[in-house]
Structure 1
Amino acid sequence: MSLVNVLLCAVLMLLPVVMLLFSRSSSQKKLKEPPGPKPLPIIGNILDLDFKRLYVSLCSMSKKYGPIFTVYLGPKKMVVLAGYETVKQALVHRAEEFEDRDINPMFSDFNQGHGILFSNGENWKAMRRFALSPLRDFGMGKRGSEERIIDEIQYLKEVFKQFKGKPFDNTGPVTYAVSNIISAIVYGSRFDYSDPVFQDMVHRSSANMKLMGSPSVQLYNMFPWLRSWIKNRNLIMINRGQVINQINELVEKLQESLNPQDCRGVVDCFLAQQKKAEESGEKNSFFHRQNLLYTVANLFGAGTDTTAATLRWGFLFMAKYPHIQDRVHEEIDRVIGGRQPVMEDRKNLPYTDAVIHEVQRLADVSALGVPHSTTCDVTFQGYFIKKGTTVLPLLASVLNDENEWESPHTFNPAHFLDKQGRFVKKDAFLPFSAGRRICVGESLAKMELFLFFSSLLQHFHFTPPPGVTEDQLDLTPVVGTTLTPTPHELCAVSRIV
């Protein structure tokens, strides 16, 4: 039986409870709630939305209903925040009221309340607080990470050189390289690209990022009782189980040689904290194995997919817009020459820096953002939002806000340059979200993007495959949890610097 038929049967079966699902108390009726399209019984507004490009549908709705509106994903109510000013006001100025993470059925199945990304309350606070400390200690935004990234760049350059300017899909090598950075910080060492365990972990994690954004999984989140019919949900859980087992095996190996006075990475720091809690007889400690495994899984997934996707978008944009690539080459050659770029060079490479920021803005890999939940009843911009309501800060509406960007739908590095060609920061540049739930790896990701991009552009010129014109390069994204480029091949032609 198809999912559509299952859904139709469900509607007929659940009609008796329609009035219950959509009823409002008399007190709430008097309160002004955000506007939105009228929902149908049971299915809500799902017929008004394109679940293959949900962020596009929601951006279109914001033009009709304004910067704060309501949609129903099945019976579940969601308030959408659109545009820079609205998102900033909620996540930054009203951070405490909007700080909880909305944990849908899939995320609940996947994380079981553990880790950082999809937990709330004291567990989230403890794990985030813990993660920030060792991530800083092991180089997030510091020279230690810069050296790791530069070392990894050498491996990636060698892989690119092996293709001798012929077309290839750079997905695997780029993803392995980026994943190795977070792996070195978490485990204390990198993996060889040919390591089958490493490859399997990366591929399963990347597959789950795509599957979680699929229409069938979104349907499961709306109607959890459909789980037996949702093949993608089952695949996610199989992948999750395998990755957690692999992480556990790595953790056990590290535990055998643990020296709490000489921690090699995040895992060692966690194990040292766990040991300290056990020795002191601390009850209800958050430093237990499940939190360790899921925190590592969160860091591994979040620290790989978005940055790797952004780099791949960057190389694709360079092949698509050769005149922009030529200006990047010219600036790098003039300022750096043949030596290895370092973070200190960024201030002297304003055009290259602007291009990287524009890649992040237009690629918009986290277009939907990650749903929040209100921690209490909120009156926001004149509208009432009940405690526990799902709230979606729509990042696509921020990075494409027509009030903030001169040409929001075109690739234009001038968005980040003044008239003198100097780099300028833009307040509406929020690819990592904002507020208390901002990405914990923001500074590391910024460093990776600059060093990988500038180093590879220093050594390679990216072009379409022979017989393919720049105009024929497809910029349509593949939609999952993140937006990744459509599968493609590029040529990485070595340059003489």
Structure 2
Amino acid sequence: SGMLITGVTTLLLSLLVLALAWWASIRGAQMRSSLPPGPTPLGLLGNLLQLEFGGLDRALMKVAQTLSRNWGPIFTVWLGPRPAVVLCGYAALRDALVLQADTFSGRGAMPVFQRFTRGNGIVFSNGPRWRTLRNFALGTLKEFGMGTRSIEEHIMEEAACLLGEFQATNGTPLDPQRLLDNAVSNVICSAVFGKRYGYEDPEFLRLLELFNDNFRIMSSRWGEVYNIFPSLLDWLPGPHHQIFQNFEELRTFISEQIQQHQETRKFGEPHDFIDCFLDQMDKVLAPQDPESHFQEETLVMTTHNLFFGGTETTSTTLLCLTDSCPAQVQAELDAVVGRARAPCLEDRVRLPYTNAVLHEIQRFISVLPLGLPRALTRDTHLRSHFLPKGTMVIPLLVSAHRDPTQFKDPDCFNPTNFLDERGEFQSNEAFMPFAPGKRMCLGAGLARSEIFLFLTAILQKFHLLPVESPSNIDLTPQCTGLGNVPPAFQLRLMAR
């Protein structure tokens, strides 16, 4: 009888899978008729057999390069049972995200974040809540200059602390990632929490460990598969569950910071972003406004978004510098700034080669190669395609950075991509590491300032000497999905 029950169970499961596959193929056929063409999907699996996990950006680039003659730069892939329209190349990204900015300003679903944020916070909200929060955050951060002093002063102070840490290594090999993460995060701590942490502070180190761990897991195969089959993976064991444990620990940490602010603040005398938000909560939380977007849970998620967006993307950039013409950068720094004072933002226009190198590193590594998914806020036409409201869109940002019509030898590192014939800095609209349009990264200006001030401060004072010979250095990301996670990397920093 046991064998009979097992056989019946297997049969029922098989029938269920077949029914789901049939339903998916029928539904898929209906949806495919109104979406741009693409590779033929297979039932529940969609196009997953044609795409490699742990490298979705590379797989989509390969699809685009080999089959673009048939479909052009706009095509549909099925990530399991869900279709997504891929925008490939600078022109397609511009036509959608810039020329139809409002229509492409919705945030597409990312189940790995949705389970935690429930559509709350700046990055993963939509509609009136997103607009209200974004306008408030932009205004508040601008008003504060990211704290009680200007953002430039904050970064330069933190750069001095970072240089002290590097000096203390006395040229012994180290992985600079942790110290860079500390420095970059402290700038955000100053703006959001109103304080900075010592680099050995256990609370601070744990905070960074949680963000780094989540960025790494989300960028792995497990993170990619979770976003495609969340209901299934909720039941399966694996490292993806660690993401949600980390999220809860981060929620507790942020909630404790908010509680401390509530106990010490004075209404109308804000010292940081949290104080401003709490003041706004006091203003709008009246009986006639029960649906206010200013609630404590929203503050928790918004604070998390500011940290997550501001730490990983900036610190990764230094890891390319050992292989990216530092001698020429240092010669320009010596000639323009000298060594008696620290570089400042005003120097940027007088350091065209240095500025070009920093832009080229960001283009070359493409920290967020897929951007974050968009969703259409209304029906629209793009080129010859009709796209219905709600369509999920993948803006393949790396495809703009590797677009041969926009950059010379796009697969090679070449700072002259950002220099004109006279050697002056030349911007390029195809450079979009922070995503174009209305969903541009909230901290784009901060990140640009940090990259310039931290890296010029380091190069002014230190030679960056790789532990291995430069020919053996492999800058291929450890894993790539949500983001390009850099490989472990050791340097010696020798005083100049």
The alignment status of 1:327 with 2:328, answered yes or no, reads yes
The answer (yes or no) to whether the contact 2:146–2:190 under 8 Å persists in 1 is no
The alignment status of 1:269 with 2:272, answered yes or no, reads no
Structure 1 residue 202, shift from structure 2 partner: 1.1
Of 91-100 and 350-359, more deviation after overlay is shown by 91-100
Alignment of 1:218-367 (within 5 A): 218-226=224-232, 227-278=234-285, 282-310=289-317, 312-313=318-319, 317-321=320-324, 324-338=325-339, 339-367=341-369
Q: Alpha-carbon deviations, 1:60-111, whole Å to 9, x = none?
A: 1112132101111111111100001100110111122211101232121021
Closer, same or farther: CA 127–10 of 1 in aligned 2, 3 Å:
farther
**1:122 alignment partner, one of 120, 123, 128:** 128
Alignment of 1:359-438 (within 5 A): 359-438=361-440
Which residue of structure 2 aligns with residue 14 of structure 1? Answer: 17
Q: C-alpha distance in 2, partners of 1:295/1:26?
A: 39
AA in 1 matched with 2:484: L
Structure 1 residue 210, shift from structure 2 partner: 1.4
Which residue of structure 2 aligns with residue 215 of structure 1? Answer: 221
- Give SS of 2:413's match: coil
**1:56 alignment partner, one of 36, 55, 58:** 58
Q: C-alpha distance in 2, partners of 1:418/1:141?
A: 37
The answer (yes or no) to whether the contact 1:209–1:480 under 8 Å persists in 2 is no
Q: C-alpha distance in 2, partners of 1:352/1:299?
A: 27
Q: C-alpha distance in 1, partners of 2:435/2:331?
A: 32
Structure 1 residue 165, shift from structure 2 partner: 1.3
- Give SS of 2:371's match: coil
Q: C-alpha distance in 2, partners of 1:102/1:30?
A: 21
**2:153 alignment partner, one of 147, 151, 167:** 147
Closer, same or farther: CA 10–372 of 1 in aligned 2, 3 Å:
farther
Which residue of structure 1 aligns with residue 175 of structure 2? Answer: 169
The answer (yes or no) to whether the contact 1:136–1:142 under 8 Å persists in 2 is no
The answer (yes or no) to whether the contact 2:25–2:42 under 8 Å persists in 1 is no
The alignment status of 1:105 with 2:111, answered yes or no, reads yes
- Give SS of 1:492's match: strand
Q: Alpha-carbon deviations, 1:362-401, whole Å to 9, x = none?
A: 0110111111011222221111222212100100101111
Q: C-alpha distance in 2, partners of 1:423/1:141?
A: 30
Closer, same or farther: CA 356–28 of 1 in aligned 2, 3 Å:
closer
Structure 1 residue 224, shift from structure 2 partner: 2.3
The answer (yes or no) to whether the contact 2:353–2:425 under 8 Å persists in 1 is yes
The answer (yes or no) to whether the contact 2:147–2:190 under 8 Å persists in 1 is no
Q: C-alpha distance in 2, partners of 1:190/1:12?
A: 59
The answer (yes or no) to whether the contact 1:156–1:177 under 8 Å persists in 2 is yes
- Give SS of 2:78's match: strand
The answer (yes or no) to whether the contact 2:55–2:481 under 8 Å persists in 1 is no
**How many pairs align?**
478
Closer, same or farther: CA 395–28 of 1 in aligned 2, 3 Å:
closer
- Give SS of 1:119's match: coil
- Give SS of 1:303's match: helix
Closer, same or farther: CA 144–26 of 1 in aligned 2, 3 Å:
closer
- Give SS of 1:72's match: strand
Closer, same or farther: CA 19–377 of 1 in aligned 2, 3 Å:
farther
Which residue of structure 2 aligns with residue 39 of structure 1? Answer: 41
Unaligned runs of 5+ in 1: 1-8
Of 276-285 and 227-236, more deviation after overlay is shown by 276-285
Which residue of structure 1 aligns with residue 7 of structure 2? Answer: none
Q: C-alpha distance in 2, partners of 1:329/1:419?
A: 21
Identity across aligned pairs (percent)? 38
Which residue of structure 2 aligns with residue 444 of structure 1? Answer: 446
AA in 2 matched with 1:36: G
Q: Alpha-carbon deviations, 1:100-131, whole Å to 9, x = none?
A: 10123212102111101111112111111111
Q: C-alpha distance in 2, partners of 1:424/1:56?
A: 28
Which residue of structure 1 aligns with residue 470 of structure 2? Answer: 470
Of 434-443 and 217-226, more deviation after overlay is shown by 217-226
Of 328-337 and 60-69, more deviation after overlay is shown by 60-69
Structure 1 residue 13, shift from structure 2 partner: 3.8
The answer (yes or no) to whether the contact 2:181–2:311 under 8 Å persists in 1 is yes
Of 163-172 and 215-224, more deviation after overlay is shown by 215-224
Closer, same or farther: CA 143–336 of 1 in aligned 2, 3 Å:
farther
Give the TM-score of the pair, scaled to structure 2: 0.93
Of 123-132 and 389-398, more deviation after overlay is shown by 123-132
The answer (yes or no) to whether the contact 1:351–1:413 under 8 Å persists in 2 is yes
Of 201-210 and 380-389, more deviation after overlay is shown by 380-389
Q: C-alpha distance in 2, partners of 1:93/1:421?
A: 31
AA in 2 matched with 1:460: F
Q: Alpha-carbon deviations, 1:15-53, whole Å to 9, x = none?
A: 11323222259987765x312111111101101111111
Q: C-alpha distance in 2, partners of 1:344/1:394?
A: 33
Closer, same or farther: CA 116–26 of 1 in aligned 2, 3 Å:
closer
AA in 2 matched with 1:146: E
Q: C-alpha distance in 2, partners of 1:194/1:43?
A: 46
- Give SS of 1:79's match: strand
Q: C-alpha distance in 2, partners of 1:254/1:304?
A: 23
Structure 1 residue 209, shift from structure 2 partner: 1.3
Q: C-alpha distance in 2, partners of 1:386/1:14?
A: 29
Which residue of structure 1 aligns with residue 489 of structure 2? Answer: 488
Unaligned runs of 5+ in 2: 1-11
The answer (yes or no) to whether the contact 2:285–2:294 under 8 Å persists in 1 is no
Of 217-226 and 293-302, more deviation after overlay is shown by 217-226
Q: C-alpha distance in 1, partners of 2:22/2:439?
A: 35
Structure 1 residue 250, shift from structure 2 partner: 0.9
Which residue of structure 1 aligns with residue 101 of structure 2? Answer: 95
Structure 1 residue 260, shift from structure 2 partner: 2.5
Q: C-alpha distance in 1, partners of 2:249/2:98?
A: 37
Q: C-alpha distance in 2, partners of 1:481/1:385?
A: 24
Q: C-alpha distance in 1, partners of 2:362/2:19?
A: 47
Q: C-alpha distance in 2, partners of 1:105/1:234?
A: 13
Q: Alpha-carbon deviations, 1:303-322, whole Å to 9, x = none?
A: 11111112x33xxx33224x
AA in 2 matched with 1:360: Q
The answer (yes or no) to whether the contact 1:460–1:492 under 8 Å persists in 2 is yes
The alignment status of 1:182 with 2:188, answered yes or no, reads yes
Closer, same or farther: CA 413–30 of 1 in aligned 2, 3 Å:
closer
Q: C-alpha distance in 2, partners of 1:91/1:455?
A: 35
Structure 1 residue 302, shift from structure 2 partner: 0.6
The answer (yes or no) to whether the contact 1:141–1:444 under 8 Å persists in 2 is no
The answer (yes or no) to whether the contact 2:219–2:485 under 8 Å persists in 1 is no
